[in-house]
Chain A
Amino acid sequence: MSLNSHMNVLDFTLLSLLRRKFKNLGIVLVFTFIVFITGSILFLSYSFKREALLILKGSPELIVQRMSAGRQELIPVGRAKEISAIPGVSGVEPRYWGYYYDPLVKANYTILASSGSLSAGNRLLQGRLPAPEEKGVAAVGRGVAKARFIDMGSTISLVSAAGDAMDFDVVGIFESESELLTADLIVLGRPDVIRLFRMPPDMATDLAVTVRNETEAPVIAGKIRSRFPDTRPILRKEIIRTYDAVFGWRSGLILTLFAGALVAFIILAWDKATGLSAEEKKEIGILKAIGWETSDIIEMKFWEGLVISLSSFLLGIILAYVHVYFFGASVFAPALKGWSVIYPDFRLAPFIDPYQIAMLMALTVIPYIASTIIPSWKAAITDPDEVVRG
């Protein structure tokens, strides 16, 4: 067949699709919806995993927490010196942080004491970070600034664990590669964090341990554990694995809930695969009778399947992208984020996994084209005589 004949068959296919515009529009809508939902879930869970990796990129290899009755407790700062003495440890830094529920806007913030290592993964959009021992100043994430309608130079009021109101001048607003990292963050000077949470002197929330050789981290963790049996050393790798499992599990959960719609789509595809309408069969017979070859009919049906499935796929993916990255995945984010109910809004950075897109395409476009071609092929190999006989 020449290029002309392929173009002519494509021309006929488009005419043919327009003839059944309402039926085809219905299929496009269902198909687009399926791709939109699945694509949204994939984009969202993949972005969460990437955000988590970004957060952890600048974090220490090891975090040491003290446990009491199965719960995390404050850890004595004095242990930092002993841990520093373990061979392979390059540094230990006490961290002062905690969560703060803001009843005004019904959001949860992360309060963190400023330190030398803090600015490594974060950049300030405006202003500066509080100095480690500075009092009465704060740098806030964009989510906090948005929730509290504050800007540079504004004052943010928080209530300490003792019930005192504490005012802070906003001297910086965060910008970060990952907005998930800083959206809910408020950075204060160390004395302010201690006062806000009413932490005892010489106690920290946990200890951040850096090691010379990352592969040595599990060995060092074991040594810390044996020296301080009430501690829980957490490896960065373990946190990454946990994030992966949590978001994988959550997206799996949504996909399971979504299985009903998937089943409906499969039924639609099966319906197409197992039979053509009498009218479609008749048309194939007519085309055969007037001189179309079986391969011409298969080609026409291939174009038909490709036009419908590819346009639906592209539309669904674009809608999913817009939904996730421009509208914050308003449909699924609560289920995927879990704790988002009290989390300030944040916008995900667009991360796309080409492998996932290719898989989704392979799982939707190819079965649809096959379900279009197979019954048509079956109809096309029967004698056109059946048409002549009416």
Chain B
Amino acid sequence: MNDPIIQTNELTKYYNKGKANEVLAVSGVSIGIRRGDFAVLKGPSGSGKTTMLSLLGCMTRPTSGSITLEGRDISHLPERFLTDIRRTTYGFIFQQFHLIQGMSVLQNVMLPLYPTDVDLPKLKKKAEGLLEGIGMMKRRDFPVQGLSGGEQQRTAIARALINSPEIVLADEPTAHLDTALSRNFMAIMKDLWEKGKTVIIASHDPIVFENEYAALVVEMRDGAVRNVTRK
């Protein structure tokens, strides 16, 4: 139980390396996240939280250093293996929600599993179950561009959960929400965490990093880890 599900070692990420606009986004980060952790990456804008979340979520590869997922080094896997990990292990909630415009709530939730061999009727049923769980069933056939910010985020949460992921990643999830909706979001995250999911959130919002169940808070600044607090 206490073995890290994700372990990074001297993780470093440059953007545009060797060019005039080179940026060092993450520098030598070594952290361990345990299975069932509620982890928060905390820090101001430009501190490297989002890049760190991308690296952990197999959205990009590190320039140097390594990431192990359940003991397996995934730092330099070919793209199709990383895609497979994203599809089977992770559920990602984006800061801008990133729902597909013009499609309904239900279709957006079903989206990650379209290119799999799951039957569409079964997939639809599962998506409806998730929408029911987050109180969005009434909006299932609405086009997503007509939803409020809170509703869009709940749709994004349902989409992140459609593949029954072990790890849920969220990038600045409360940035576009008012206090009440932010608390709502945290309640959903708490519920997932209590069901055994590993939750990793990047945020600079106190509602997120000051909550009592955030077992691990990693404070970042200028791409490096400044402080790690484990409760």
Contact = CB atoms under 8 A, between A and B. Distances in A.
Query: Which of A11, A15, A384, A388: most chain B CB closer than 10 A?
Result: A388
Interface string B33-51: 0000000000000000011
Interface in A1-49: 1-2, 4-5, 7-9, 11-12, 15, 19-20
A268 interface: no
Contacts of B123: 8
Contacts of A19: 101-103
B83 A292 contact: yes
A389 B115 contact: no
B96 interface: yes
Interface string A369-390: 0000000000001011101111
Interface in B79-127: 79-80, 83-84, 86-88, 92, 94-96, 98, 100-103, 107, 111-120, 123
Interface stretch (B52-60, B183-191, B217-225): B52-60
Contacts of A296: 114-115
A289 B92 contact: yes
A279 B101 contact: yes
A256 to B, nearest CB: 41
Interface stretch (A82-90, A174-182, A243-251, A280-288): A280-288
B197 interface: no
Chain A contact residues, majority secondary structure:
helix
A385 B92 contact: no
A260 interface: no
B114 A288 contact: no
B47 to A, nearest CB: 14
A289 B87 CA distance: 9
Contacts of A293: 80, 83-84, 115
A292 B98 CA distance: 15
A283 B113 CA distance: 16
A9 B114 contact: yes
A15 B144 CA distance: 14
A291 B83 contact: yes
B79 A381 contact: yes
Contact of B98 (A8, A15, A289, A381): A289
A287 B111 contact: yes
Given A11-B120, A15-B103, A387-B94, A290 B111 contact: yes
Contacts of A291: 83, 86-88, 112-113, 163
A293 B59 CA distance: 12
A388 B114 contact: no
A59 interface: no
B59 A286 contact: no
B44 to A, nearest CB: 16
A8 B59 contact: no
A59 to B, nearest CB: 63
A381 B80 CA distance: 10
B103 A388 contact: no
A323 to B, nearest CB: 35
A294 interface: yes
Contacts of A7: 120
Nearest to B54: A385
B204 interface: no
A388 B94 contact: yes
B154 interface: no
Contacts of A1: 115, 117
Given A286-B98, A291-B163, A294-B79, A388 B111 contact: no
Given A286-B98, A387-B98, A8 B116 contact: yes
A4 B83 contact: no
A287 B92 CA distance: 12
B171 interface: yes
A243 to B, nearest CB: 54
A282 B115 CA distance: 18
B192 to A, nearest CB: 17
Given A286-B100, A381-B79, A388 B53 contact: yes
B86 A290 contact: yes
A8 B114 contact: yes
B131 to A, nearest CB: 17
Contacts of B54: 383, 385, 388-389
A15 B86 contact: no
B79 to A, nearest CB: 7
B59 A12 contact: no
Contact of B83 (A283, A288, A385): A288
Contacts of A4: 116-119
Contacts of A12: 111, 114
Interface of B: 50-51, 53-54, 57, 59-61, 79-80, 83-84, 86-88, 92, 94-96, 98, 100-103, 107, 111-120, 123, 159, 163, 171
27 contacts: A4-B118, A5-B117, A7-B120, A8-B113, A8-B114, A8-B115, A8-B118, A11-B120, A12-B111, A20-B102, A282-B98, A287-B111, A289-B98, A291-B88, A291-B112, A292-B83, A292-B112, A293-B83, A294-B79, A294-B80, A294-B83, A384-B60, A388-B50, A388-B54, A388-B59, A390-B94, A390-B95
The 9 A-B pairs of least Cβ separation, nearest first, read: A291-B87, A19-B102, A385-B60, A296-B115, A2-B117, A385-B59, A4-B117, A290-B112, A385-B54
